[in-house]
Structure 1
Amino acid sequence: MSATVEAPVESTDEESVAPDDPRILALGIEPPRSVAAVFRNFDRIKDLLRAEAAEGDRLARVTPLAGRAMRSSGFFQLTYPKARGGLETSFQDHLELVMQVSRIDAGTGWTVAILNASGHHSSRLSDEAYAELYPSVDTPVTNSWFPPAKVTRVEGGYEIKEGRWDWGSGGYQADMFSGGALVFEPDGSPSIDEEGRQRLVSLWFPRDKTEQAHNWDPMGLRASGSSSYYITEPLFIPERYTMSRYAPDRPDDPPMYKHLSNTYYPILGVAAGIAQHMIDLTVDAVRAKLRGGKLGEETHTALSDAMGECDMMVMGLRHWAQEGQRLIETPDNLMSPAQVESMLTMGIRAQQATGRVLDLLLDVHGSAFIQPGSEMGRAIRDYYTMRAHSQFKHSNMFLYTGRVAAKLADPDAVISPLDEPWVVYTQ
């Protein structure tokens, strides 16, 4: 995806919908003090999200009303550590909420996935820095690593003269921004870490020193509001307000914060949500056309195959969320690089499965299926835009060499689910 085309996009003000707005109070949202409460709130606001989806697509961001409903429901508080008042949500639950929201609108689900990365990142901050940056867990932060800015190491932190980042998903709901930067020494030479890599850090910026470019105008995933953003003046960022892109795994941390490499796994739920959304819309269209008539064999076969593809995708995504959770909850255990890779490459498999679902459903509807202004047209646009993201691009498979290499080196290595010893359930 690209956010670099400068196209004027209508601006809205998230603060125009306050927490005590009568439309929000009428939803009966409960305080999000548990993950179960967040899911109960989803049931309360899902009709509103559905009603606002077309307008969010037009505006190229979640609407202020939908954004406030999600924020009040706790959708952006899932991943903060319990020790800091957060919910410390599991992979399974975070993935599930992203899938369910994406079943309504993929751009909205994308926002839920991305804004929750901040909770994982914040776990690497000191208690002092966290207290200074986060007045509460209700502090959505947008992060993008690319294109990285340039910063200079100075005493106590970093100096940054300018910086502009693309793909700032969820920025219209954010209270704060952070951005990636390559580190240079005062003499202009690259700053090299212990592994021989140039240091790449993420820096948290003051909200009043950042602006959005309002340039997110893609074909799909429009409600993600992934506008570019930039700092408005040179800044000094204290060391404590930064995090390394190459932060080491920490086996002694709480399970959800041992690894940062799988922070974005729940975004894969967007693919499953798109697939199920298209199936839902096709079922509605077929029911309307039947009007008590008999379902043709071709239509039956196409729908059955599409549902099966979607089922296998959802079960695969849920499995790796559960398996990843089991591995990190094992005391003193870290996931192997091949296991992390197995989780992350599910994104490529998910987009392929969604493409097969789309192909099957096209056989049902033909050209009536792809009107650009329709809800189905929006879902199709979302699918093709999703495919351009690095986590879903098949052309990026060459980056994931660890799983194959591990299996070639040791055929008995425990990599896939069938490598695991089977636990007999029958008593």
Structure 2
Amino acid sequence: MEITQAPPREELVRRASELVPLLREKALWMEENRRIHDDVIEAVTDAGILKMRVPVRYGGYESDMGTVLEVLAELGRGDGSTSWTAAVWSISTWMTGLFPDEVQDEIFSTPDVRISGILSPGAMAIPVDGGFVVNGKWAFNTGAQQSTWNTNAAVTPTGDGSFAPVMVAIPIADLQIVDDWHTSGLRGSGSITTIAKDVFVPAERVLQMGPVLQGQHQSRLNADAAIFKAPFMPTACATVSAPALGLAMAAKDAFLERLPGRKITYTSYENQAEAPITHLEVAEAITNIDEVGFHARRAADMIDAKGQAGESWSLEERARVRLDLGAACQRAKEAVDILNSASGGSSIHYDVPIQRIQRDVLALNLHAILHPNTNLELYGRIVCGLPSNTPYI
């Protein structure tokens, strides 16, 4: 097995930054074709971004969460769909590291393997000799058509009339694809529906969801790795805060690039950059962008610090990561809304980036796990002494 020296954070961020022009060039194509362009996948792969959460024994980098955040945010400066898809691949790759080592040997035998995944249990897994037979479907399955494996949630009977959630690892080739991703935002992510019809899954490729959410896993060889010591939900939430940060930065870039020489129609301002309202809008947007970065980086820093120290997580700490995710999405939307509103009527043209950025950041804010009010309520009820109202924490 190959052991690779992981590049430092600055190097990986630099590589991601160098991809921004390509992502912007292909963004319209990806939106129209509802998937990531092959050139973008090749560039992301060549930059080593798919290796960030792969165990080192398979040639991966085992990058810390801070590195993952900054790299994915740079991708978001270029294109929100690419950043979101890479974030899902990152989470699902990390999730694969929780499976037994022999399962990892199988999945990571494909160099730069792309693994998509769904946390919402959309299927039934019935125990049979040697494993489970799975039937059901998973909507919003980001990047599945361009992936090799799926780590998906299902439920299985417990014998007492109830059901327990499980995670299953299934080759994409075993699933049916429904091309139903016709949306207003994150169109390039190709988050289609997959269907399992009588798919047999060996027992070793099934994990009980409860231990997974608590950060427990079946891998002996990953047991001492810092990145695998964090619980699942904080890891996932910190990862998907990166596209919000990237889109907020992208909105700033897009606005300032169009600003020179633009006038404010039906006013005496021949140069929008000279108008006091523009100064106020830009400053307020940048303040919000800074706050996105604060929340995203606070979550990432806590994951890295506690992983390095091997510390356990309190319920309040877990909920605070979801608070940080919700706040990051909220502030990103506020920043983008300000800059979008200040971009003038010409910005509604399809080839002007700000309108796509605005739709992408709205899509993030509508996601059930990223939804700001849901996350704020969860944290608030725990601080007020009430129990969590969700196992996804």
TM-score of the pair, normalised by structure 1: 0.79
- Which residue of 11, 20, 24 maps to 1:50? 24
Aligned to 1:142: 116
**Structure 1 residue 317 corresponds to structure 2 residue 296:** yes
Contact kept? 2:186, 2:363, Cα under 8 Å:
yes
- Mapped partners of 2:341, 2:355: distance in 1: 15
CA distances 1:332-377 after superposition (whole Å, capped 9, x unpaired): x112121121112222212221232134324533433333442111
Q: CA 1:46–1:368 in structure 2 vs 1: closer, same or farther (change >3 Å)?
A: closer
Aligned-partner Cα distance in 2 for 1:175–1:32? 25
Cα distance in structure 2, aligned partners of 1:294 and 1:141 = 45
- Is 1:118–1:143's contact at 8 Å kept on the other side of the alignment? yes
Task: Assess, with a 3 A threshold, how the Cα gap between structure 1 residues 146 and 301 changes in structure 2: closer, same or farther.
Answer: same
Partner of 1:235: 199
Contact 1:32 1:38 (8 Å CA) reproduced: no
* Alpha-carbon distance change, 406 to 386 in structure 1, aligned in 2, over 3 angstroms: closer
What is the rounded CA distance, in whole Å, between the counterparts of 1:288 and 1:146 in structure 2?
48
Structure 1 segment 82-121 matched on structure 2, within 5 A: 82-121=56-95
CA gap of 1:294–1:380, structure 2 versus 1, over 3 A, is closer
Q: Residue by residue, what CA displacement relative to the aligned partner does 1:91-112 show, whole Å, maximum 9, x if unpaired?
A: 1111111111111111110011
SS at 1:181 equivalent: strand
2:143 to 170, 173, 191: 170
Using the alignment, how far apart are the partners of 2:373 and 2:271 within structure 1? 46
Instruction: State the distance in 1 between where 2:254 and 2:371 align.
Output: 26
1:9-88 alignment to 2 at 5 Å?
Answer: 34=7, 36=9, 38-88=12-62
Structure possessing the higher radius of gyration over alpha carbons: 1
Residue equivalent to 1:330: 309
Q: Give the SS at the match of 1:61.
A: coil
Q: Secondary structure at the match of 1:368?
A: helix
- Deviation, 1:308, is 1.5
Aligned partner of 1:309: which letter?
N
- Distance verdict in 2 for CA 1:311–1:57, change over 3 Å: same
2:200 alignment partner, SS class: strand
Secondary structure of the residue that 2:49 maps to in structure 1? coil
Number of matched residues?
367
Give per-residue Cα distances to partners, 1:173-216, cap 9 Å, x unaligned.
Answer: 3112232111025x7x645xxxxxx3111211233322321111
**For 2:12 and 2:5, how far apart are their aligned partners in 1?**
5
1:382 is aligned to 360
Moved more, 213-222 or 286-295: 286-295
What is the rounded CA distance, in whole Å, between the counterparts of 2:195 and 2:174 in structure 1? 8
Q: 1:407 to 1:255 in 2, by over 3 A?
A: farther
Partner of 1:262: 234
User: Does 1:203 find its partner at 2:168?
Assistant: yes
Q: What is the rounded CA distance, in whole Å, between the counterparts of 1:228 and 1:363 in structure 2?
A: 34
Q: Secondary structure at the match of 1:67?
A: helix
Aligned mates of 2:302, 2:277 — CA distance in 1 = 37
Task: State TM-score, norm by structure 2.
Answer: 0.85
Is residue 284 of structure 1 aligned with residue 257 of structure 2?
yes
CA RMSD for the aligned pairs?
2.6
1:246-295 superposed Cα distances (whole Å, 9 cap, x missing partner): 12334964221122222312111111211221111111222132798861
Deviation at 1:64, TM superposition (A): 1.5
Please identify, of 143-152 and 95-104, the stretch whose mean Cα deviation from structure 2 is larger: 143-152
Unpaired runs of 5+ in structure 1?
A: 1-30, 192-197, 410-427
**Displacement of 1:399 after TM fit?**
6.2
Distance 1:43 1:398 in 2: 32
1:405 aligns with 2:382: yes
2:131 touches 2:202 (CA, 8 Å); kept in 1? yes
> Residue 224 of structure 1: CA displacement?
1.1
Q: Report which of the two has the higher share of helix.
A: 2
The CA distance in 2 between the partners of 1:120 and 1:387, in whole Å, is: 24
Mapped contact 1:310–1:353 kept (Cα < 8 A): yes
Give SS of 2:52's match.
Answer: coil
